[in-house]
Amino acid sequence: MEYSIRQLADLTGVSTRTLRYYDERGLLKPSRVNEQGCRYYEQEQVDLLQQILFYRERNLGLDVIKEIISNPQFDAAQALEEHLIALMEQEKHISTLIQTVKNTIADMKGEERNMSDKEKFEGFKRELIEEKERLYGKEAREKYGEEAVDEANQKIMGLSEADYERFKNLEKEVLRQLEEAVRNKELPESETGHRIVLLHKDWLGYTWKEYSAQAHKGLASMYIADERFLAYYDKNIKGCGEFLVKAVDYWAGR
């Protein structure tokens, strides 16, 4: 079946303006454009739009999505499997948060014993651990051993509310400064790269028993070897993961 741009917008809830923008960016080209300039889409484009929207829900930037779907080895069925896993993890996360909110409301109403500050944030911390285990647990345990990974997880669960907030804010700041550095075409060997490595080191300190430059570089080597790590750092601007790896390799231990 063929859809005009207006029909596709009505069907998907994506505005015609956004569809035109996707066309301009080379992300979603219409199957044909008539003499009046109206865009038309067939099933192939409808399916591709669904993939784009799934990736957007996973907070990937348009440049990253374009690179993924333009890859000759892109497998739509495999991508859907990955989307399903991500959505199921999101569902689990939301369920945990819902239960935490319910417990907090009950606590406020005096319906059960007082919740400690630690318990109020336990759901967030547990979800963080489960997500990292799902994404990187196998590789981390093979590289660092069961005991080291378990100790890191226990350290996260033991964080106070204030420490947990600092831990999450550090992660956001590392990402922000990486994106700014890549956008400004900074070099990993620059003072900007040094500052980012120190921030990353501080962030690791919340989960590592003790810091070593060698372990820091080893972790960075995992980043460059695993596309999931790169996708995380490159989700908005491509090159952030590579910048971090090179900066850590140059600055760690100096």
Same domain, 201 and 138: no
Same domain, 181 and 248: yes
**Of 124, 142, 158, at which residue does a domain stop?**
158
pLDDT one-digit tens code per residue, 210-229 = 899 998 998 888 777 777 77
Same domain, 85 and 123: yes
pLDDT one-digit tens code per residue, 120-146 = 566 666 767 776 676 666 766 676 677
Q: What is the pLDDT of residue 147?
A: 75
Helix (H) or strand (E) holding 95: helix 76-108
- The least confident of 109-113, 139-143, 232-236, 248-252 is 109-113
Q: Which of 133-147, 176-190, 202-216 has the highest mean pLDDT?
A: 176-190
Reduce the secondary structure of 199-237 to three states and give it as a string: HHHHHHCCCCCCCCHHHHHHHHHHHHHCHHHHHHHCCCC
Residue 227: count other Cβ atoms within 10 Å of its Cβ.
12
Is the pLDDT score of 177 beyond 90? Answer: yes
**Of 31, 47, 70, at which residue does a domain stop?**
70
Q: What is the pLDDT of residue 136?
A: 60
Q: What is the pLDDT of residue 235?
A: 86
Same domain, 186 and 109: no
Is the pLDDT score of 118 beyond 60? Answer: no
C-alpha 220/C-alpha 242 separation (Å) is 9
CA angle at 83 for the pair 75 and 131, rounded to the nearest 5° = 125
> In CATH, what number is assigned to the domain containing residue 27?
1.10.1660.10
Same domain, 164 and 89: no
Number of independent structural domains in the chain: 3
pLDDT one-digit tens code per residue, 94-117 = 777 777 777 767 767 765 555 555
Same domain, 42 and 98: no
Compare 12 and 84 and report the one with higher pLDDT: 12
- 14 lies in which domain range? 3-70
Contacts of 62 (CB under 8 A, 6+ apart): 25, 27
What integer is the mean pLDDT of 196-202?
Answer: 96
**Strand 3-4 to strand 39-41: parallel, antiparallel, or no bridges (unpaired)?**
antiparallel
Contacts of 217 (CB under 8 A, 6+ apart): 248, 249, 252, 253
Q: What is the pLDDT of residue 150?
A: 76
> In CATH, what number is assigned to the domain containing residue 175?
1.10.490.50
Q: What is the pLDDT of residue 148?
A: 72
**Residues linked to residue 32 through DSSP beta bridges, in sequence order:** 40
Same domain, 101 and 170: no
Same domain, 195 and 213: yes
Same domain, 9 and 92: no
pLDDT bucket at 32, cuts 50 / 70 / 90: very high
Compare 129 and 81 and report the one with higher pLDDT: 81
Is the pLDDT score of 75 beyond 70? Answer: yes
Same domain, 173 and 250: yes
**Of 158, 185, 211, at which residue does a domain stop?**
158
Same domain, 164 and 154: no
What is the chain's mean pLDDT, rounded?
84
Same domain, 45 and 111: no
